[in-house]
Chain A
Amino acid sequence: MNPVSRRAFLKSSVAVTAATTFPRTRLSAAGQEPDGVPPAAPQTTISLRVNSERHTLEVEDRWTLVELLRDHLQLTGTKVGCDRGECGACTVHLDGMPVYSCSQLAVWADGREVTTVEGLADGVHLDPLQQAFIDGDGPQCGFCTSGQLMSAKAVVMTNPNPTEDEVRQGMAGNICRCSNYNRYVAAVMSRPPQQASRLDPLATVGVSHPRIDARERVTGLAQYTGDVAVPDMLYARVIRSPHPHARITRIDTTHALEMPGVHVVLTRQQCDVTWSSGDSHNPRYLFNNPVRFVGDPVAAVAAIDRHTAEAALKVIDVDYEPLDFVLDHEEALLSGIVEVQPGGNLSPRRDGERLPEIYQRGDLDVGFAASDVIVEETYVSKHHNNAQMEPRSAVAQWTGDQLTLWSPTQGISNTRRDMARDLDIPPERVRVICQYMGGGFGNKNQNQDSDLIAAVLAREAGRPVKLELTRKEDFLGVHGRWPTTQHYKIGASRDGTLQALQLRGYSGMGPHRKSSGGIAGIELFRCPNVRREVSPVYTNMTVAANFRGPAYPQGVWGIESVMDQLAHELAIDPLDFHLHNLTREYNDETPYTSWSLRECITEGADRFDWANRWRQPNGRTDRVARGVGMAIGMFAARLGRSSAVLRLEQNHLWLHIGVTDIGTATKTAMAQIAAEAMDMNLTDVTVVWGDTDQCPYSVGESGSRTTTHTGHAIIQAAEDLKRQIAALNGALGDRPLIAQATPEPTIEGMARYASAAHFVEIEVDTELGGIAVMQYLAMHESGRIINPLTAESQIKGGVTMGIGMALHEELVYDRATGVPVNPGYYGAKVMTHLDAPEIEVHFIEPIDTFGPYSAKNVGEPPVIPVVAAIGNAVFNATGRRIKELPMTRTRVVEALA
């Protein structure tokens, strides 16, 4: 959309507001009050005790208990992650027993005692479990933590000395998408974490330290976007397309607009705002026609409360003319197939050419001619949802022409930039606040359509608007890991040397191109003749984009499976095969700033005792087959531009940084770096974060680069501050000092990567097809580890997430209708306490002078080798490869048949 029409929209918004205001200011047919108050719902008077405090109040019969707690008693420590009794974030105690407060009616609590996370602490004295969660690094993003605590509390109330299995069973109903299950269980078991930095720790850097905001995360005080309430706030809901591809022929909003309490109804007719970060290639409006996937927004409503907004959705009539649709990314490129976007289904390259992304070096023909063994195989990965615990939400408030937006974003600066661009207002008119957010794993890097919808509704209504997506909407309307089909042809000579490596891959992006759609991994290997051809394709599946380690987990699974197969056909131990063919330079031409992949493999293999545990697969037919597997991964430790402002007043340091801490303990690590750089105690550092009005620029928490870019900025600002102090010759006194820095470090001509080698032992139940992880060892090099405690949590979580991708997580589509059939935690089968094995983590810590205190990156690498390691272990155990994800029980049984 061009800027002119964006401006036109805003100019016309006054008229639109008037039009939408009219129906609510006149008497409705049913004769309700003219002030827009909806008819009263049936109510009941109840008395209950909440955290020992007695309340007698009128509740609407339809309120759930969590609605009463959060919306009406302002006890927002209890979270809503799914609102359908699946995720456990809403767990509270009802008469001492843990229950899902989203599945209880508030009236049931009459005469009963409710305990929420806010009731665990005795004044300032934390419950021992809360302290154990802090010390043991239980909360990452923290959104599930209240629920985890309430379930854990119930376990120890009835059984003070539970076994680990009893703890897992007791917490089975509480999902943690950061997948910090090991930490939660260890905390309940009072098993202290043990991390040691391999490098000699500095004063603060390299020392394990609980998160500086852990107390807020375990007491329910941490404020997430959904917890924000501002006066006169309206509630929004969105209608989404039930069709994978359809033209909207009519939308009738008359009945909704006549409904008392409804303030605004937006459709494409009134709103032609584009969501520019939602598609880098084609215009993507907030409301699109045609709709191109199940979940595409069609209309939005803002009303006086949730119930009225929901009721209004039900009376908006939408007529759809269904169009042909295509789900499969290879089929989408066949001739005669419906065009998802004008111009064809192959998404164009950056230069506008409709051609695959191609990388090549050497000559494949020469390579295959030199090969004694050639493996040709195809691997198919699926759409895998980020499924972060906090669904998309936004609170938008306009003060005059100034927008304040609370949003669970991974980058406040990006979001401000995007909002200003999409609403065509200057960036200084946008303030973005994100104090705490419940995870994203790459799907909240820019502004979200939910942010824009809330902002436009609020502007139209002249009142603040809160929009909280449902879990189903978050699964459908947002994005997950792109599905791929990977055709490999790889040749090696008899001595085990790679000669030729060919990948022809296809990535299903859904109807919008948000991210690269790449298939990464072949660069892990040294090979003279390489060709990689990847086609990002438009389909009518839900949009795919970044998810932890984008392009890698699926690509590394493919390439590492083929490498394992090659090693097998050459009768070489895969460990030796890896060491022989390992990358030494990125794409065999660019040197690494530091490179520890070989050491990760050899030390990991020693720790795992690979030499004594790996055996050639023998096709044994035991009911339970054991096998081991390994795989490697690397992920760019990119640099980036970010600022830091240091403010020293009365011997206390305020660190202003534009990060949001998405669960990675960024705030803590940055405070450690500041304390180290200033030679101060960590307790003398306060971090100011997550508010564009108070924080300088940050490129955002994506690409595993926050520690590097913000760390550099802090160190550089600290150098300045120390110079200022020195210049005062000891006469600092009460004089406040400020220093800032925005470095842009470069690594001209070099590549900077973190490395990992994973080793796993599994058991395959050949009767049931079940795969059980028996031992998992993750060997990582991420430069110097700033905070070993929280870094290890990252690795454990990333690996656990990868296990889910390998074994059971998938957004499944009904091929006949194009409708996803399992949007939600239960359906998509994300990992639970019962699925999560213990993950053993070790770090190699080289000196990498390009990182702040030698640090690289931690967040994305751990998920990368997991699927491949497990797949290779399945082959080792059974002699069969599962070439389509996830490796479900059904697929395993079929493969073994």
Chain B
Amino acid sequence: MIPSNFDYQRAQSVDDALTKLAASGGTGKVIAGGHSLVPMMKLRLHEPTTLIDIARIGELSGIREQDGLIEIGANTVHHDVATSSLLRNNCPIIAETAGMIGDPQVRNRGTLGGSLAHADPAADYPAALLALDAQIQLQGPSGTREVAATDFFQGLFTVDLADNEIITAVRFTPVQVAAYAKLYQRASRFAIVGVAAALVINQGSMLRKPTIRSSRIGLTGAASHALRLTSVEEAVAGQAATAEAMAQAAQGAGAKIDDINADLHASEAYRRAMIQVFTTRALQGALARLPA
């Protein structure tokens, strides 16, 4: 429970952080809130020789809206995402998701970028980012690049992030009609099954009830990495915007995924059953956000 030796370096800017990272010759690690990395270092699952602290890089923090897009800096802690009035008003699902992470101590220090880089299969953010079709901003020695959330989460603790890159921000178009629902591990409050659903609605008229034009549904906690529930997305399309139709569309949601986790928190069969339950809840929760 004691980390091995490392050299701590504080980066002043993103460029400075990248320089330090490059100089570490592949043995460096970037740290912001440390809530994933420090425990892993104590267990010696990670033994970086250089730790590059990016927590004080101002440009990596904050929540902004520009040209209809919302951008959350990678250093933004979960607490700030959960309590942001900008997000609560314009894209409540992301604030809701952040507010369901861990406990206050974790939310006060854990960062969005750290959570995404660590890519715990039970982390909450990935489901919401998939539902929002978010773009993850990365910066490396050769400049910046943007990766869609759908492509970013690749496997167990594996994301599309090179050793010499850092996550700088996440960007997405705000969605009102979206919700996150999760069954959590009661002690850690990590997701056993977490589902985020975002809906695009065909407005109803005097003669026609509102229907679902399209949806994006992200699932976390159930498999080696977060993924889209495409079969449910297809089933939802064109359905009436009613709670019953959502429950109907979610039928069998858990049966259509190949690789489902079985661990001490839940069996595979239980998780499959819960995927359907929480997909229904997320879809219905999203509908409940439809303006009256």
Give the B-binding residues of A (Cβ under 8 A). Answer: 41-42, 44, 61-62, 64, 83-86, 88, 91, 94, 97-100, 103-105, 107-108, 151, 154, 169-170, 172-173, 306-307, 310-311, 314, 470-472, 767-769, 808, 812, 821-822, 825-830, 832, 834-835, 889-890, 893-894
Contact = CB atoms under 8 A, between A and B. Distances in A.
- Most chain B CB inside 10 Å of its own CB: which residue of A61, A83, A893: A61
- Most chain A CB inside 10 Å of its own CB: which residue of B35, B102, B186, B267: B186
Interface string B1-43: 1111111101000000000000000000001001100110011
A890 B8 CA distance: 44
Nearest to A93: B108
Given A104-B109, A889-B270, 6 more contacts: A41-B5, A103-B38, A103-B39, A107-B8, A314-B44, A826-B187
B106 A173 contact: yes
Given A84-B42, A154-B104, A62 B3 contact: yes
Contact of B51 (A61, A767, A821): A61
Nearest to A101: B105
A310 B38 contact: no
B105 A829 contact: no
A85 B105 contact: yes
A873 to B, nearest CB: 19
A829 B273 contact: no
A103 B35 contact: yes
Contact of B270 (A42, A103, A821, A893): A893
Given A105-B34, A310-B2, A98 B108 contact: yes
A44 B8 contact: yes
B42 A91 contact: no
Interface residues of B, number: 41
Nearest to A468: B1
A829 B44 CA distance: 23
A769 B8 CA distance: 47
Contacts of A41: 5
Interface of B: 1-8, 10, 31, 34-35, 38-39, 42-44, 51, 53, 55, 79, 102-106, 108-109, 183, 185-189, 264, 266-267, 270, 273-274, 277
Given A85-B35, A105-B38, A42 B6 contact: yes
Contact of B105 (A99, A832, A893): A99
B186 A306 contact: no
B109 A99 contact: yes
Contacts of B105: 85, 88, 91, 98-100, 151, 173
Given A306-B2, A311-B4, A172 B103 contact: yes
A812 B263 CA distance: 10
Nearest to A40: B5
Given A88-B105, A103-B35, A826-B187, A62 B53 contact: no
Contacts of A894: 270
B113 to A, nearest CB: 16
Nearest to B189: A172
Contacts of A835: 186
9 contacts: A42-B8, A44-B8, A99-B108, A108-B55, A173-B105, A768-B277, A835-B186, A889-B183, A889-B266
A88 B187 CA distance: 12
Contact of A890 (B3, B10, B187, B270): B270
B53 A107 contact: yes
The 7 lowest CB-CB distance pairs between A and B, nearest first, are A173-B103, A61-B8, A310-B2, A826-B188, A97-B108, A172-B103, A42-B7
A97 B187 CA distance: 21
A295 to B, nearest CB: 15
A812 B264 contact: yes
A44 B8 CA distance: 8
Contact of B104 (A61, A170, A825, A889): A170
Nearest to B2: A310
Contacts of A769: 270
A630 B35 CA distance: 43
Contacts of B5: 41-42, 61-62, 307
A822 to B, nearest CB: 5
Contacts of A108: 34, 53, 55
B35 A829 contact: no
Nearest to B188: A826
A832 B51 CA distance: 33
A471 to B, nearest CB: 8
B31 to A, nearest CB: 8
Contacts of B185: 826, 829
B100 to A, nearest CB: 10
A271 to B, nearest CB: 24
A380 to B, nearest CB: 17
Contacts of B38: 64, 85, 103-105
Nearest to A469: B1
Nearest to A111: B56
B124 to A, nearest CB: 15
Given A98-B105, A103-B35, A768-B277, A307 B266 contact: no
Contacts of B3: 62
Given A103-B109, A890-B267, A86 B187 contact: yes
B203 to A, nearest CB: 32
Given A62-B6, A834-B186, A83 B42 contact: yes
Given A172-B104, A825-B187, A84 B39 contact: yes
A822 B188 contact: no
Nearest to A812: B264
Nearest to A80: B1
Contacts of B44: 314
B1 A83 contact: yes
A197 to B, nearest CB: 36
B264 A61 contact: no
Nearest to A808: B186
Contacts of A85: 35, 38-39, 105-106
Contacts of B2: 62, 306-307, 310
Contacts of B8: 42, 44, 61, 105, 107
B1 A84 contact: yes
Contacts of A64: 38
A86 B102 contact: no
Contacts of B35: 85, 100, 103
B183 A768 contact: yes
A712 B257 CA distance: 67
Nearest to A64: B38
Contact of A61 (B7, B39, B188, B267): B7
A29 to B, nearest CB: 18
B34 A103 contact: yes
B30 to A, nearest CB: 13
Nearest to B31: A105
A100 B108 CA distance: 9
B34 A104 contact: yes
A832 to B, nearest CB: 6
A832 B104 CA distance: 14
B108 A470 contact: no
A108 B44 CA distance: 20
A98 B273 contact: no
Given A103-B39, A767-B277, A826-B188, A98 B7 contact: no
Contacts of A83: 1, 42
A654 to B, nearest CB: 41
A469 to B, nearest CB: 10
A61 B270 contact: no
A91 B5 CA distance: 25
Contacts of B189: 172
B6 A61 contact: yes
Contacts of B109: 94, 99-100, 103-104
Contact of A832 (B7, B108, B186, B264): B186
A28 to B, nearest CB: 16
Nearest to A890: B270
- Most chain B CB inside 10 Å of its own CB: which residue of A86, A88, A471: A86
A830 B187 contact: yes
Contacts of B51: 61, 105
A475 to B, nearest CB: 13
